[in-house]
Amino acid sequence: MPTNKLSAFIKRKEFILLVIFVLVFVLMSALAPKQFLRPFNIQSMAFQLPEFGILAIAMMVVIVSGGINLSITYTATLSSIVAAVAISSMSQAGVADWKVILLGIVIALATSLAAGAINGFVVAYVGVTPMLVTLGTMTLFEGVSLNITKGGAISGFPDSFLWLGNATIIGIPVPMVIFVAIVLASWYLMGRSRFGFSVYMIGCNPRATMFSGINVKRVLMGVYLFSAVLCALSGLIMSSRYNSAKESYGSSYLLQSIAAAVLGGTDIAGGYGSLSGTVLAVMILQVITSGTNIIGINPYLTNIIMGAILIFVLALNYLSSRRESRKLG
Amino acid sequence: MDSSEFLHIEKVSKTFPGVKALNDISLSVRKGEIHALIGENGAGKSTLIKILSGVYQPDEGAEIVIEGWRAHSLTPIESAKRGISVIYQDFSLFPNLTVGENIAVARDIEKGSTFVHWREMRRTAGKILERLGVEINIDAPLGSLSIAKQQLVAIARSLTYNAKLIIMDEPTSALSKGEVDLLFRIMRSLRAEGISFLFVSHKLDELFAISDRFTVLRDGKYLGTFDEEGLDDDRLISLMVGRKIEYTIFPKRRRTESVLEVRDISRTGCFQNISFDLREGEILGLTGLVGAGRTEILQAIYGINPPDSGKILMHGTEISVRSPIDAVRHEIAYIPENRLAEGLVLRKTMSDNIVVTILDKISNRLGLIQRDKQNRLAQDWIQRLNIKPNIPEMQTSKLSGGNQQRIVIVKWLARDSKILLVDEPTNGIDVGAKMEIHRILRDLAESGMSILLVSSELPEILAIADRIIVMRRGRIAGQFDGDTATQEMIMEKAILGIKQQVR
Amino acid sequence: GGKKFTIVVMPKLVGIPYFNASEVGAKQAGVDLGINVIYTGPTTPDAAQQVRMIEDLISKGVDAIAVAPNDPAALTPVLMKARRAGILIADWDTPADKKLVDLSVHQIDDKEYGQHIWDLLVQQMGPSGDYAIITGGLSAANLNAWINAGLSYAKTKYPNLHLVTDKVPSDEKQQIAYQKALDLITAYPNLKGIIGISTPAPLGAAQAVEEKGLKDKIAVVGTALPTDSRPFLEDGSLRVATLWDPSKLGYLTVYLIDQMLSGKKPVNGQDVPNVGKITVWPDGKTVIMGPPSDFTAENAKNYSF
Amino acid sequence: MAIAMLPIILTGGIDVSVASIIAAVTVIIGNFMIGVSSNIFAVFVVGCASGAVLGLINGLLVAKLKIPPIVATLGTMSIIIGVVLYVTNGTWITGIPQNFINFGRTDLFAVSVRVGEPIGLPIQFVFLFGAAALMWFVLRHTLVGRGVYAMGGSVVSAERIGYDLGKITIFIYTFEGFLIGLAGSVHTSIMRQVDPGAFSGFELHVIAAVVLGGASVLGGYGSVFGTLLGVALFAVLNNGLILMHIPVFWQKIVVGIVLIASISVDILQKRYSESRMTRVDIEPVEG
Ligand SMILES: Nc1ncnc2c1ncn2[C@@H]1O[C@H](COP(=O)(O)OP(=O)(O)OP(=O)(O)O)[C@@H](O)[C@H]1O
Ligand SMILES: Nc1ncnc2c1ncn2[C@@H]1O[C@H](COP(=O)(O)OP(=O)(O)OP(=O)(O)O)[C@@H](O)[C@H]1O
Ligand SMILES: [Mg+2]
Ligand SMILES: [Mg+2]
């Protein structure tokens, strides 16, 4: 049955990723047996993964809609900076901790929604190419952040705020718990909901989707808002983990998140992309960075390895799909 | 192979994953003949053409002989070198380049030249357009032309290089009667020069007007080649579909209750002072020459390009439709003319394309899509319209043109609307399927839906429309009743006063 | 002792000349003292990357971590974690959270250094006139510390100096510093001096001044390595550069950590081999390496960093 | 640089590895000058050749392995810059021979207007315009160049009509590498030393400049002249703000807003004029 074949093929991409993940994991364990497999290390990887993983999902969602969001890292830091200003000034004013934190989260989300609304508005309603819009807003958000911080970092959080990024629940880091929740929520949203269905359709052919009576503009707006909210969550985790908020946190995640999304099987042209693939890709990248750090490999070599894996996996995808069609065609 | 043959193929098969599109095909094309290739939707015509042009490689064992030169398969460059030129269903032109470049570029590639000589290119293009007797600005970007003119450009292009066999996949589907006549005139004069044509069309009258021989494919198999003499419509149809089909003229009904009243709408550069009523349960035919502005009227009503002035009333109250979302809210549906770009999301599955209009119906209160409901509905519709293959998970791009069109229709049938705007619904669809679509449209009308049907095919309009509006250059030129109108009456209104221009 | 210590020295980023020079010193100290020195850091000056690397290094299990924080506050949680894991924590080059470190190695006293730079500027351009600052990045804590120290010092000591516009960032790149300097020269025709803070900045400024033929009118001073700045010092476009020897800083850091791991605290006035006499603050953990060296056209060739 | 990127964007591709290629080129020629020969001509040959080779790698990945351009170049970017920094450890290469530096400072047609203030056309502009002219010629007057536009218009059609898409792809990436090599060589002679880390973050600027110049990221549209304008506009945006005495902390905000606003206005204008485009010549009312 071609039905099975088709789904089997889609699964194959993720299967390759799974194999690679296991391979790097085993490799790292073999190279640094005592250190890599320590629960402490596993836990610390679980601490590190979410902030990047969330950004990668934020990127993936936009790519699936046929766009790209270059402003993710600055959306994250901008919303955490605005929240940080509020949190630190309120907590100095002696407001109760839980109120402060709750309000801080609300403020971060509100800021990110505003940021996402700018992206969404210009992309969907004005009709500018996403890459350009987000290139502009990237600069804009960085500028606003810098203007607030004047180049420094905003700190002075109450200790309980640090819980968000640093505590564990029965050994599982809180950020990881948040991440899993986000993955599940995104999976429902993208894979099961009307919204997600529309996003995939728009990513393939916005015009035909519009002709089908779907409110393409509103869906696109939703995509950028959703992406921005994810950014804010990542930003909050980062500011809690780093005990401060600053415009440059996570700036190196931008290109990495594109790489993760694509490595995870997202079609850069839009319309295709799976959450599980992206999550697997994020895990692969995490194991490689942590592993090479522990083994003590020159960080530039890590860059080279990641680049090579990216090309390798995509080449593999291409070759296997070609063999497939040869065999049958 | 005898020396009067230009092309001879044998044992050509092509297998796609899950589909045997061609099965052991043989065919010869003589020098200086017009050879029709016919068959139902999905019979494999387009696939065969792609093999001849080198886009697809046939399965093992194929024999292709071109003027004594033998091969098992072709590449696009080889095919062109050997004198085969193809005009595809979608023209394969470059919207971002100028008309002149689109015409002349193929020859430069064939010559393998390094540099492009603009002056010479424009001269070549100009000469060919002159030979075709059409007036198109050589320097205009192709994307700004109407579909009909783009078609002529595609034809012009195939004449630039020394094509000895011109293959045309449904070249007349976007052309009006006058333009078709022009094309045929050109084809005949080229035939006299010894150029052969392989010609795909679903329009039987055209086929009989121009073809010397017919090759019939059915379900990927070769049924035989027949001379024009001794063939008639009935025989041809029964060869194609394996059964006899009549072009049913449906009885016309007179309806009175207006559902949609269009009052004096205008849009700059598209249409002027258009007024008409669409009544409950009727099919209102909107016809005219291609480029008369019919598509624009449909798109205006559907909210894609709203009118600048005028009113649209529904059941007597004015409605404002500024976007397709508004239209859908008012239960208006639209089946666009350009199904590839506007009707379908080609890279998604049949099932996804079918349910895209009814997401609200297949999802629960939380907005989550219920997969089982989706599958059931899709499966159901695919069976009802007899779409082949019956695989809801198949990518829509892999369907044949006719089956793709059925998907577009299905997706709007799935969402029952009050008003259906249909633009050239049977373009590129075989006779059998055409009848089915006519029946579907009629049934819908009987069940109370109001249908505004744009079609350039007069027999089709006459067969199913209750009333007919004829458009000419952005204005309404005349109105007829479906049971009394004739082709002649309609044509007269459609071309009156612009005859000279068409020529 | 019998066990061979493993010490991590983490710069703000790897792959820039300044931190390459300190790597040499740190590694040398490792060889001299017979301990294992890992010198690693992020490839971009991103605090998040630093935190991740430290987390991984805690997993690896090391005896001490000396870090030059890209952002002090950001490191606080991870350094607490490291302390809990029983790792000795030090900062170097740029201070981290005072409470968390066992040792804090400063090349220089920020305040004195800032003042010194402004003194150099006045030496070259005179006590009055327009000047501008080109800095590495707007959010670099140590650069900002120097600038702020210098600015408040200048307010009282050199009231006739006039800063034309806020410090201009150059992304730690000579090319950008050069562009910005060109713009500054055009925008403020009365400019008499440019201070370049961060090692590529003075070079870019000098290049611009040289190209415009204004090296006699505009005095460029700043913090730069002598080898890189030598061509500019020699053609006069850069009047004077000032910096400490980063390799000594690396050496000193490793040396002091080794001592502490063996149970010895740094002492004020202690003479460290290959480095010289150091100053230790009363808190017992803040160590100042010593005054900076000034590099001029005459002496630049004597240095190898 | 932006000029070099234009044809790639025209085909609907994108190259984010430009910054790493130019870094690699500068390092290679830096070492070449010091180690082998400081002959200006030889240096340029080496620079362009090494750029071209790196570009070729991108081209092969995109054309032969069918990896989407943004991803392929993301990979090569990571690898190239990794290798460059691993090998050099980020150390600057100083001691560029004087003759090469002098070359970078040559002003052509220098006219002394006032004493001590020569104005003229700095040599980098000569190269910029030279590269632009070359690119213009290639795009406008060679078959490959037209193929680039054709590919951007419709890949399927281009293939059907007989363009060898693989060759075109490989050509444009190699050509881009070549021009980047040229840019790297000129840059080195101006900067007088080689900083392997100098170009990080540069790729987005290059893309922005090309697209600001009117090229469509989906391919098919764009011109050399537009790209030059885009480069100029971007340079003005980035550097002119100091001239306008805009405070530092506001500059990025201004840049961001100007960028978004200018493109938005442009798009809205285009949309308006398109919606007013005549599709049907309406019959005049008979008087
Ligand atoms: N790329 C493909 N992959 C899988 N199946 C394909 C592909 N292209 C065509 N087919 C199948 O091959 C068969 C023949 O299709 P083809 O397009 O040649 O039909 P056709 O005769 O041109 O029909 P129409 O008149 O509707 O255009 C169809 O069943 C179609 O689904
Ligand atoms: N949605 C659209 N967006 C842009 N251009 C369009 C759109 N729909 C149609 N056009 C263009 O409008 C022009 C006129 O349309 P066309 O020639 O199809 O006339 P028509 O009489 O409305 O159509 P038909 O007779 O085919 O139903 C063509 O150039 C066509 O490509
Ligand atoms: Mg077909
Ligand atoms: Mg039409």
Q: What is the pLDDT of residues A161-175, one digit of tens each?
A: 888 888 888 888 999
Distances (CA, A) of B93 to B106, B147, C157, D84: 11, 11, 75, 44
pLDDT score of A120 more than 90: yes
Both tokens of B161, joined, read: 């290089």
Query: Best mutation site among B13, B41, B47, B393 for ligand 1, i.e. most ligand atoms within 8 A of its Cβ?
Result: B47
Contacting B residues, span 274-313, partner chain D, CB-CB under 8 Å: 291-293, 296, 305
Which residues of D have a CB under 8 Å from any CB of B? 140-146, 149-150, 152-154, 156-164, 220-221, 275-283
pLDDT score of B76 more than 90: no
ipTM exceeding the 0.85 mark: no
| Per-residue model confidence (pLDDT) at position D108 | 46
Band of residue B3 on the pLDDT scale cut at 50, 70, 90: low
- If one compares B333 and A35, the residue with the highest pLDDT of the two is B333
Question: Residue B425 in contact with residue B437, Cβ under 8 Å?
Answer: yes
| Per-residue model confidence (pLDDT) at position D115 | 40
- How big is chain D by its Cα radius of gyration, in Å? 21
**Do the Cβ atoms of D141 and B55 come within 8 Å?**
no
| Per-residue model confidence (pLDDT) at position D3 | 58
Ligand with the closest atom to the CA of B22: 1
**Residue A149: CB partners within 8 Å, gap ≥ 6?**
A81, A245, A246, A247, C139
A182 falls within a domain:
yes
- The one-character DSSP state at D176 is H
Q: Do A and B share at least 3 CB pairs under 8 Å? A: yes
Closest C-alpha to ligand 2, atom 18:
B291
Query: Best mutation site among B27, B399, B400, B429 for ligand 1, i.e. most ligand atoms within 8 A of its Cβ?
Result: B400
Q: How far is B14 from chain A (nearest CA, A)?
A: 8
Q: How many CB pairs (< 8 A) connect A and B?
A: 90
Name the neighbours of B, counting chains with at least 3 Cβ pairs within 8 A: A, D
Question: pLDDT tens for residues B432-450?
Answer: 778 888 888 898 899 889 9
Band of residue B318 on the pLDDT scale cut at 50, 70, 90: very high
D80 falls within a domain:
yes
| Per-residue model confidence (pLDDT) at position B299 | 92
**Residue D86: CB partners within 8 Å, gap ≥ 6?**
A298, A300, A301, A304
Q: How far is D112 from chain C (nearest CA, A)?
A: 13
Q: Write the Ramachandran bin of A271: left for phi over 0, alpha for psi from -120 to 50, otherwise beta.
A: left
Both tokens of B69, joined, read: 């030169």
Closest C-alpha to ligand 1, atom 18:
B44
Chain A contact for D85 (CB, 8 A cutoff): yes
The alpha helices in chain A, defined as continuous H runs, are: 2-31, 33-36, 39-64, 72-92, 97-120, 130-149, 163-166, 174-187, 194-204, 206-211, 216-241, 253-263, 275-295, 299-328
| Per-residue model confidence (pLDDT) at position B501 | 37
Per DSSP, the three-state class of C103 is strand
A178 falls within a domain:
yes
Band of residue C88 on the pLDDT scale cut at 50, 70, 90: very high
Do B5-241 and B257-331+418-438+445-503 come out as alike in CATH topology? Answer: yes
Domain that holds residue D70: 2-107+120-199
A33 falls within a domain:
no
Both tokens of D100, joined, read: 């090469």
D276 falls within a domain:
no
CA distance C303 to D1: 37
Both tokens of C251, joined, read: 């050496």
Query: Poorest-confidence range of B172-181, B377-386, C15-24?
Result: B172-181
> How many domains in chain A?
1
A317 falls within a domain:
no
Question: pLDDT tens for residues B226-241?
Answer: 887 877 777 777 777 6
CA distance D242 to D230: 19
Facing residues of B469 across strands?
B286, B479
Chain A contact for C43 (CB, 8 A cutoff): yes
Neighbours of ion ligand 3 (CB under 5 A): B 46, 401
CA distance A186 to A56: 12
> What integer is the mean pLDDT of C74-87?
89
CA distance B373 to B451: 28
A93 falls within a domain:
yes
A4 falls within a domain:
no
D237 falls within a domain:
no
Interface with chain D: mutation pick from A70, A71, A132, highest number of D CBs within 10 Å? A132
Question: Residue C129 in contact with residue C162, Cβ under 8 Å?
Answer: yes
**Do the Cβ atoms of D198 and C20 come within 8 Å?**
no
Q: Nearest CB to D67: which of A137, A142, A314?
A: A314
Q: Which ligand 2 atom is at minimum distance from the Cα of B148?
A: 17
Closest Cα partner for C224 from D193, B126, A106? D193
Q: Is ligand 2 within 6 A of the CB of residue B351?
A: no
D129 falls within a domain:
yes
In degrees rounded to 5, what are phi and psi of residue C210?
Answer: -65, -45
Q: Nearest CB to B473: which of D143, D277, D281?
A: D281
**B365 membership: H or E segment, kind and range:** none
Q: Nearest CB to C47: which of A35, A249, A253?
A: A249
Dist. CA B46 → ligand 3 center (Å): 4
With CA atoms as reference, the chain C residue closest to D116 would be: C213
- If one compares C88 and B136, the residue with the highest pLDDT of the two is C88
Length of chain C: 305
What secondary structure, in 3-state letters, does B227-241 show? ECCCCCHHHHHHHHH
Q: Looking at beta carbons, which residues of chain A come within 8 Å of C19? A: none
D61 falls within a domain:
yes
pTM given for the model: 0.81
Whose tokens are 């992020």? That residue is C42
> How many domains in chain D?
1
Q: Nearest CB to D283: which of B76, B270, B474?
A: B474
Ligand with the closest atom to the CA of B37: 1
Domain that holds residue A201: 40-312
Question: pLDDT tens for residues A183-209?
Answer: 999 999 998 899 999 999 999 999 899
Q: How far is D59 from chain C (nearest CA, A)?
A: 27
The listed CATH number (3.30.420.40, 3.40.50.720, 2.60.40.10, 3.40.50.300) that belongs to domain B5-241: 3.40.50.300
pLDDT score of B269 more than 90: no
Question: pLDDT tens for residues B446-499?
Answer: 988 999 999 888 888 889 999 999 988 888 988 999 888 887 788 777 766 443
DSSP output for C224-289: --HHHHHHHHHHTSS-EEEE--HHHHHHHHHHHHHHHHTT----TT-EETTTEE-EE-TTSSEEE-
Sheet strands (E) in B33-95: 34-38, 63-66, 69-71, 84-87
Residues of chain D with pLDDT under 50: 108-121, 286-287
The alpha carbon of D205 is separated from its chain's Cα centroid by a whole number of angstroms, namely: 9
Query: Best mutation site among B274, B289, B296 for ligand 2, i.e. most ligand atoms within 8 A of its Cβ?
Result: B296
| Angle of CA points B157, B162, B168, to nearest 5° | 50
Closest C-alpha to ligand 1, atom 7:
B398
The dihedral formed by the CA atoms of D251, D253, D256 and D258, expressed in degrees to the nearest 10: -70
- Spatial strand order of the sheet with B19-30 comes to B69-71, B63-66, B5-16, B19-30, B221-227, B213-218, B34-38, B196-200, B165-169, B84-87
Question: pLDDT tens for residues C15-38?
Answer: 777 888 889 999 999 999 999 999
Interface with chain B: mutation pick from D280, D281, D283, D285, highest number of B CBs within 10 Å? D280
Q: How many CB pairs (< 8 A) connect B and D?
A: 107
Chain C contact for A48 (CB, 8 A cutoff): yes
| Per-residue model confidence (pLDDT) at position A107 | 95
For chain B, the structural domain boundaries read 5-241, 257-331+418-438+445-503, 343-417
Q: How far is A309 from chain C (nearest CA, A)?
A: 19
Q: Considering chain C, what is the average pLDDT of its residues?
A: 88
Q: How far is B18 from chain A (nearest CA, A)?
A: 7
Dist. CA B90 → ligand 1 center (Å): 14
**Do the Cβ atoms of A70 and D264 come within 8 Å?**
no
Distances (CA, A) of B152 to B149, B424, D267: 5, 19, 31
Question: Residue A188 in contact with residue B368, Cβ under 8 Å?
Answer: yes
**Do the Cβ atoms of D74 and A146 come within 8 Å?**
no
Query: Burial level of B195, CB count in 10 A (0-12/13-18/19+)?
Result: buried
CA distance B259 to B256: 9
In degrees rounded to 5, what are phi and psi of residue B288?
Answer: 145, -175
Facing residues of C38 across strands?
C8
Chain A contact for D249 (CB, 8 A cutoff): yes
| Per-residue model confidence (pLDDT) at position D287 | 37
Q: In this structure, which topology does domain B257-331+418-438+445-503 adopt according to CATH?
A: Rossmann fold (3.40.50)
pLDDT score of A179 more than 90: yes
A322 falls within a domain:
no
Q: Looking at beta carbons, which residues of chain D come within 8 Å of C230? A: 94
Q: Which ligand 1 atom is at minimum distance from the Cα of B16?
A: 4
CATH of the domain at A264: 1.10.3470
